[in-house]
Amino acid sequence: LLNEGIKCAHGASSSHQEGIAVSFVFQALLAVRRVLLAQHTAFPVSGADLYEELLSSTAILSTGNPSLDKLLDSGVYTGEITELSGGPGSGKSQVCFGVAVHISHHLKQRVMYVDTTGGLSASRLLQMLQAESSNVEEQMEALQRIHIFHAFDIFSLLSYLYSLPATIQQVSVGGGSVKAVIVDSVSAIISPILGGKQNEGMSLMIQVAGVLRRIAKDFNVAALVTNHVTRGGGGGGGEVQAGLGLSWSHVPRTRILLERTESAGTGHCSVRSATLIKSSRQPCHIKEQFDLQWWSTSKEGSAAKRKLDDSDSR
Amino acid sequence: MAESGAQLFARLEPRRSLKHIEPRLFPDDGGPDHGEVVELHGTEGTGKTELLYHLLCRCVLPAAAGGLETDVVFVDTDYSLDILRLVSILDSRLSAAGGLEEAELRSCLSRLLVVHCSSSSQLLLTLHFLETAFSSRPSLSLLLIDSISAFYWLDRCEGGASVSKQEEKLSKCSELLGRLLRDYRITVFATSHAIRRSYRSPDAPGSSSSSSSSSCSSSEGERPYLCRSWQRLVTHRLLCCRAEAGGNMAAAAGGGNKEQRRRQVFSVHCTSSSSSSSSSSSSSSRLKAYRSSSFYVTDGGVVFI
């Protein structure tokens, strides 16, 4: 029946029945239509069922840094995309490392880390882990729970993301489920293909967004992405805004802008200020300051070590 | 297509009118009636989803809590439905009305049907499927789509060089929606994202409310980018934008209170166009009515100023 000339499901559903029914039995056509609809439509779910499902499956993953957690309303939520944007050297990758280490060590869950800039180094991860625990075996276990993938162009990223559901199932067999997918940075791959007259760039960007969201929702993982910044306004000198344009701005549920602080101290400063620029839970534009070194300082020491916030000691 | 007597009855029985769903948003006597479409347009972070939740709650809440007790279908195209946020709004409204019970919350939520779509073809097929839902549930009177513009870039790329092919899927969806509106007399609310940044001169610091309203009207001039059949369907267009009136509020509230939290105020500008139905002349004039309102967002939902 399907070979006869019904090329696509839309044609079958919306065309006049009389036109095609010349050589078909009307009932058969109805049956085909029903099957096609059943196969391809999305099924409605009652709000109550959805709520119950969400209640039992949503988790909030702490980032390991209390000031960041305060901004994010106690952590990164699963089922959503959270975005970190900032200029070069503002600490986005460091924050990603810290979150990955915290999840794999403290929460004992797996992390899928997609590195697009080549900025990931295992020795830095190890350094952070060594501050968390001095047991070598624990460190190795935690490192094993971080799965790394290098993607340097949009197509390999897309193919990785499309195959992620299968990978997640495979990986979860060995104990510990995947709880976070970190893409650092999504703008490094996408901004070269945007611009100009071609539309493929925007379409690929929206495809990446769609796949990430679907994975976050279906597998209850937290998606964390990083983004660069641009200056807004007509001609130079506007305020700093997150990059990738207006169409991307609808994609993440929560957005944070990282900046270096103007501290009166000496050159190297590891304190960054984070501003909440989009959130569905908190009022916007609340600022927090935090120290990038938080993840590498040993928590087992005395309380005196926490005074590293001023970053005078180095 | 033949339909049974019950289906015919369900189709013709008048659905609950949503004309008074939110009188503060729409011009006087111009709320969305049967068969009308409301489009909420704006950039990110301008409160469109919050407004949608507010309207949704108004529909599903029981009459005792100030609701309309109708069923709602929510078509979610970009996985942005935050059920936890919705539940917290319902909680606060129910407890404000007195008595918070688990069963009441559950009955409110069961009036909501959620569908996720991931492409415009799936949207089209889902709308066909929902037709049966409409015919079997006469209390279903509202269809919410968030957002109708989610597949814009995907369709544009798939369509290649010809504009008509690009818009083909969305125009089919709009035509189907038009037919559903006429046959079943439902109301549709849809959000669409603004995708072209309007470059205007930066506002002076300490802007008063007048300059913020001018920034809202400048975005009114941006071209609607969705296909023509969708634009023909829309009868009310709500433009949402952010207003920088936080400072004014704090000053007006009294000098002693330094703890006043700077609230982000959003403003909505509603343009309603309705063709005059009484005239039988050949040229149907489209009457336009305008209304502006502002609101801010609290934990319990949207509060109008």
DSSP state, A58? -
Q: Measured between CB atoms, does B201 come within 8 Å of chain A?
A: yes
The answer to whether the CB of B46 falls within 8 A of the CB of B266 is: yes
Q: Which of B129, B157, B201 sits opposite A199 (nearest CB)?
A: B157
Please report, for chain A, the start and end positions of each structural domain, with discontinuous segments joined by +: 61-291
- φ and ψ of B113, to 5 deg: -115, 130
Tokens of B142: 């509202």
Q: Residue B262: exposed, middle, or buried by beta-carbon count in 10 A (0-12, 13-18, 19+)? A: middle
User: Is A193 part of the contact surface with chain B (CB cutoff 8 Å)?
Assistant: no
Residues 244-283 of B with CB under 8 A from A: 261-264
With bands split at pLDDT 50, 70 and 90, how would you rate the model's confidence at B282? Answer: very low
Number of Cβ atoms within 10 Å of the Cβ of A5 = 11
**C-beta of residue B59 within 8 angstroms of C-beta of residue B52:** no
- Tens of pLDDT, residue by residue over A214-226, are 899 888 889 999 9
Write down all domains in chain B, each with its CATH number in brackets. Answer: 5-304 (3.40.50.300)
Task: Say how many C-beta atoms besides its own lie within 10 A of residue A305's C-beta.
Answer: 12
Instruction: Reply yes or no: is the peptide bond before residue A185 cis, omega within 30 of 0.
Output: yes
Asked which of A67-81, A276-290, B96-110, B213-227 is least confident by mean pLDDT, the reply is: B213-227
Give the closest residue to A242 by CA, choosing from A198, A216, A72, A250: A250
Digit-coded pLDDT (tens) for B246-281 = 444 434 443 333 333 456 778 888 888 765 444 334
* CA–CA distance, A154 with A142 (Å, rounded to integer): 29
> What's the pTM value of the predicted model, to 2 decimals?
0.78
Rounded to whole angstroms, the Cα distance separating A77 from A58 reads: 7
Lowest-pLDDT choice from A52-56, A180-184, B20-24, B49-53 = B20-24
Contacts of A250 in chain B (CB under 8 A): 44, 78, 80, 147, 193
User: Looking at the partner chain, which of B45, B73, B195 has a beta carbon nearest the beta carbon of A278?
Assistant: B45
Superfamily of domain A61-291 in CATH is P-loop containing nucleotide triphosphate hydrolases (3.40.50.300)
Neighboring chain B residues of A207 at a CB cutoff of 8 Å: 154
In 3D space, the residue among B74, B21, B78 whose CA is nearest the CA of residue B44 turns out to be: B78
Q: What does R_g of chain B's alpha carbons equal in angstroms?
A: 20
Of A43, A7, A167, A249, the C-alpha closest to B48 is: A249
Interchain CB contact of A260 with B (< 8 Å): no
The answer, yes or no, to whether ipTM is higher than 0.90 is no
Identify any residues that bridge with A83 across adjacent strands, giving them in sequence order. Answer: A225, A255
Q: How far apart are CA A11 and CA B128, in angstroms?
A: 12
